[in-house]
Amino acid sequence: MTHLVLAPMEGLVDWRVRQLLSATGGFDLCVTEFIRVSQNLFPAHVFYRYCPELLQGGKTASGTPVLVQLMGHDPELMGENAAFAASLGAPGIDINFGCPSKTVNKREAGASLLKCPDNLFNIISAVRRAVPDHVPVSAKIRLGYADKELYLDNARAVEAAGAQHLTVHARTKVEGYKPPAHWEYLARIRAAISIPMTGNGEIWSVADYAKCRDISGCDSFMLGRGAIAAPDIANRIKAYDVGQTLAKQSWSVVLTMLLTYIDLMVADDATENHQAGRIKQWVAMIRKGHDQAADCFDQIKRIRDIGELRAKLSEDRDNPENQRQNDQIAAE
């Protein structure tokens, strides 16, 4: 059975989104947003903020394990932080070598480390040494920084440093998030290493998944924006694998999930200033997965008050036209 991972997405996939999407089903693993390691050993509360799941055995409420992702350039400091995260109960440590952010890359972290495979080797080896044997260490890379010249060397460095798993976002840093993702490179990397590998990039539908699987030969995939746009995509992929076709979630089911997201945010003051922004950002991305999201976004894009936003989304969910469509989907 295909293994599906919910992608780490800074500013987008927090513990609430992990909770909602893992409860929707189909995901086998989640990864936190990156924790930027630059100067010191973080206190426990920082790890709990990024990964409150550490307080419940390192799993989401529905039982999906959550890896803690670290990003930084100093091998020893990365090792110390990884060891501490492991001592707090992280079920695994993932290391980010893919972040394209200008600030991060200026400080030699994220994707800029791909310019030299030794960088990957040194950081991963230090983390592997620092973390107890039973805690897996994994790395997430892109195909390169400016070009793809080093993609195999980088993948081999990840394996040689002792990582248990590699995830490859099939684009260079310079290619950013622009389609296409180069799935054919995933097959070449798989052939060059013997640790398990997850393919990532530009899977927005079950058809994309099937094509990526055929081209890459991977049996594990990470879903990022596609899972935000269509929160049930992992379930539909799993159904496809066993020869079934699951109807796409109706718009009113998606709205119910968004309303739960609001409830989770409102119950947790920490993000008060960002609440409306987070919802609008999510609805904007759902436009790619659900036609009704475009109208909804137009209606909410100027709303700043979370209560008003909640009322608008509830009204839309209870709209008889959306309910009718819901029944129609259920009957299909």
Ligand X SMILES: Cc1cc2nc3c(=O)[nH]c(=O)nc-3n(C[C@H](O)[C@H](O)[C@H](O)COP(=O)(O)O)c2cc1C
What residues between 66 and 95 interact with ligand X by CB under 6 A? 69
Quick check: helix, strand or coil at residue 60? Answer: coil
Residue type for 263, please? D
d(CA 205, CA 193): 28
Give the x-and-dash track for 191-220 against ligand X (CB under 6 A): ---------xxxx-----------------
11 is in an annotated binding site: no
Residue 200 and residue 187 in contact, taking contact as beta carbons nearer than 8 Å: no
Residue 63's region, left for phi above 0, alpha for psi from -120 to 50, else beta, is left
Residue span 21-60 as binding mask against ligand X, x where in contact by CB under 6 A, dash where not: ------------xx--------------------------
Least distance from ligand X to the Cβ atom of residue 111, Å: 10
69 annotated among ligand-binding-site residues = yes
Q: Does 201 belong to an annotated binding site?
A: yes
Residue 202 in marked binding region: yes
DSSP character for 36? Answer: E
Residue among 11, 57, 63, 180 that touches ligand X (CB under 6 A): 11
- Residues 221-250: x/- map of binding to ligand X (CB under 6 A)? --xxxx------------------------
Catalytic, 99? Answer yes
List Cα–Cα distances, 89 to 22, 78, 99, 166, 198, in angstroms. Answer: 19, 17, 25, 21, 23
Give the residue closest to ligand X by C-beta.
Answer: 224
Element (H, E) at 175: none
The answer to the question of whether 140 is labelled as a binding residue is yes
Buried b / exposed e over 148-177, threshold 16 CB at 10 Å, is bebbbbbbbbbbebebbbbbbbbbbbebee
Per-residue DSSP letters for 240-267?
A: HHTT--PPPPPHHHHHHHHHHHHHHHHT
**Is residue 145 a contact partner of residue 114, using CB atoms and an 8 Å limit?**
yes
Question: For 328, which DSSP code?
Answer: H
User: In Å, how far from its chain's centre is CA 299?
Assistant: 28
Annotated active-site residue in 51, 99, 212, 218? 99
Residue of 4, 5, 6, 8 interacting with ligand X (CB under 6 A): 8
Nearer to ligand X, 79 or 201 (CB): 201
Separation of CA 120 from chain center: 21
| Least distance (Å) between residue 97 CB and ligand X | 8
Region from 6-14, 73-81, 121-129, 232-240 binding ligand X, contact rule CB under 6 A: 6-14
In whole angstroms, the minimum distance from the beta carbon of 324 to ligand X comes to: 32
Backbone angles phi, psi at 175, to 5 degrees: -75, -15
Residue 149, marked binder: no
Least separation, in Å, of the C-beta of 228 and ligand X? 8
Residues 131-150 that bind ligand X (CB under 6 A): 140
Residues 93-132 that bind ligand X (CB under 6 A): 96, 98
Distance CA 119, CA 113 (A): 6
* Of 197, 231, 182, the residue nearest 20 (C-alpha): 231
For ligand X, give the closer residue by CB, 33 or 316.
33
* Catalytic residue annotation: 99
Annotated binding site: 69, 140, 169, 200-202, 224-225
Sequence ranges of the binding site for FMN = 69, 140, 169, 200-202, 224-225
Binding site for ligand X (CB under 6 A): 7-12, 33-34, 69, 96, 98, 140, 169, 177, 200-203, 223-226
